[in-house]
């Protein structure tokens, strides 16, 4: 038994010696590797410099429009300029008084007798102008004018009422005038509407108007102008139909309503 113990101890010593030798070899190898690592020179790679920074842009006020538009403290601060409203258009000029109606004739080309405060009574056809008004059309009841592109249509009775009212106002005796004083007629070419009733339109209209010497131009034969080519007769004229005087030819005829007389300018 002692012999086995000695043998076992001998084996253990051999194992311990082998283990110690192996540990020493590993330690020496590690030391040598460490020395080699410490003595090795490390190669540093070249460092590439970074690219240069872009230059800073200059600041412009336009870059702050969005800041001004979206401010939370003042909503009226924005880049939109508020323009002043355009001035209102000037008011339209008032329409002057319509011409006065005195009568009309239907022989041949229909004519209407009109006047106003500045133009004496004379005849007009459709398409002719009296003052600012242009005659468009007329019949026995109504008449239409053109005034600055607008059509103004009135009943003939309305124009007669205006004429009658103005005549009555002009013939009224002013308060404070002495008793029996006669008021002179109102100035202007307005004639009495009763002189141009339908019953007298063909028989007495042209001849009665001829009594106005201011419209006849001082001629004892030719009456006032009815149109650009026609003139009325006067009551004192006894010349026959077809007579020629001062470039005008007399036309006289008998109609159902009475005699008709006027002068026509020769071409």
Q: At residue 255, does pLDDT exceed 50?
A: yes
- In terms of DSSP bridges, do strands 133-138 and 111-115 run parallel, antiparallel, or are they unpaired? unpaired
Structure confidence at residue 264 (pLDDT): 85
* 253 backbone dihedrals φ, ψ, rounded to 5°: -150, 165
Q: Mean of the pLDDT values across residues 139-157?
A: 91
| Residues 252, 177: Cα–Cα separation, whole Å | 47
> Across all residues in the chain, what is the average pLDDT?
76
Q: How far is CA 4 from the centre of its chain?
A: 137
Q: How far apart are CA 38 and CA 32, in angstroms?
A: 10
The pLDDT tens digits for 31-48 are: 999 998 888 887 888 889
Q: What is the pLDDT of residue 81?
A: 74
Q: Which of 153, 169, 185 is the last residue of a domain?
A: 169
- Give per-residue pLDDT as tens, 70-94: 777 776 666 677 788 999 999 888 9
β partners of residue 123: 113
pLDDT of residue 189: 41
* Cβ atoms 172, 181 nearer than 8 A: no
Domain match, 203 and 141 both: no
- The tally of domains found in the chain comes to 2
- CA angle (188 as vertex; 186, 190 as ends), nearest 5: 90
Rounded Cα distance between 69 and 74, Å, is 9
Residues 161-205 pLDDT 10s: 544 445 554 444 444 444 444 444 444 443 333 333 333 344 334
Q: What was the pLDDT predicted at 31? A: 92
90 is a domain residue: no
Spatial neighbors of 230 by CB under 8 A, at least 6 apart, are: 123, 262, 263, 264, 265
Res. 1 pLDDT band, cuts 50 70 90: low
Residue with tokens 């336009």: 62
C-alpha–C-alpha distance, residues 170 and 183, integer Å: 8
Residue written as tokens 């020493």? 24
115 and 163 share one domain:
yes
Q: Global pTM?
A: 0.37
Same-domain check for residues 101 and 163 = yes
Q: Is the same domain home to 162 and 212?
A: no
- What is the number of alpha carbons within 13 Å of residue 208 lying toward its C-beta? 16
| For range 121-130, the mean pLDDT | 89
Nearest C-alpha neighbor of 232 from the set 209, 212, 214: 209
Q: Would residue 147 count as lying in a domain?
A: yes
Average pLDDT, stretch 244-264? Answer: 82
Two tokens at 71? 């401010």
pLDDT for 178 equals 43
Burial zone of 196 (CB within 10 Å; 0-12 exposed, 13-18 middle, 19+ buried): buried
pLDDT class of 210 with cuts at 50, 70, 90: very low
- Which residues contact residue 78 at a Cβ distance below 8 angstroms, ignoring those fewer than 6 apart? 68, 69
pLDDT (tens digit, 9 = 90+) per residue, 52-73? 988 888 888 887 777 777 777 7
- pLDDT band of residue 209 (cuts 50, 70, 90) is very low
Burial zone of 90 (CB within 10 Å; 0-12 exposed, 13-18 middle, 19+ buried): exposed
pLDDT at 25: 93
**Which CATH number is 110's domain given?**
2.30.30.830
Residues 263 and 202 grouped into a single domain: yes
**Mean pLDDT value across residues 88-117:** 87
Q: Please give the Cα distance from 209 to 186 (Å, whole number).
A: 18
Supply the pLDDT for residue 236.
77
Domain residues for 135? 97-169
- 108 and 163 co-located in one domain: yes
Task: Name the DSSP class of 128.
Answer: -
Q: Quick one: pLDDT at residue 135? A: 92
pLDDT the model gives residue 163: 42
Does a structural domain hold residue 175? no
**Both 159 and 214 in a single domain?**
no
pLDDT average, residue stretch 17-29: 93
Please check whether residue 46 lies inside any domain of the structure: no
């Amino acid at each position: 038994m002692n012999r086995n113990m000695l043998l076992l101890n001998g084996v253990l010593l051999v194992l311990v010696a082998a283990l110690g030798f192996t540990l020493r070899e590993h330690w020496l190898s590690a030391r040598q590797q460490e020395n080699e690592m410490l003595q090795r020179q490390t190669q540093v790679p070249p460092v590439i410099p970074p690219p240069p920074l872009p230059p800073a842009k200059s600041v412009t006020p336009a870059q702050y429009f969005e800041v001004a538009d979206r401010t939370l403290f003042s909503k009226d601060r924005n880049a939109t300029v508020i323009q002043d409203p355009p001035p209102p258009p000037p008011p339209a000029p008032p329409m002057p008084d319509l011409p006065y109606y005195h009568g009309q004739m239907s022989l041949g080309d229909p004519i209407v007798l009109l006047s106003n405060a500045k133009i004496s009574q004379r005849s007009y056809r459709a398409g002719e102008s009296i003052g600012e008004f242009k005659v468009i059309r007329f019949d026995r009841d109504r008449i239409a004018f053109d005034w600055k592109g607008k059509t103004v249509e009135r009943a003939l009775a309305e124009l007669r009422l205006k004429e009658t009212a103005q005549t009555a106002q002009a013939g009224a005796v002013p308060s404070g005038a002495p008793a029996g004083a006669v008021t002179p007629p109102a100035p202007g070419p307005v004639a009495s509407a009763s002189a141009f009733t339908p019953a007298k339109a063909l028989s007495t209209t042209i001849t009665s108007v001829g009594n106005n010497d201011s419209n006849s131009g001082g001629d004892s034969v030719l009456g006032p102008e009815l149109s650009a080519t026609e003139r009325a007769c006067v009551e004192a004229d006894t010349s026959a139909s077809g007579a020629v005087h001062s470039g005008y030819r007399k036309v006289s005829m008998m109609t159902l309503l009475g005699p008709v007389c006027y002068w026509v300018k020769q071409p």
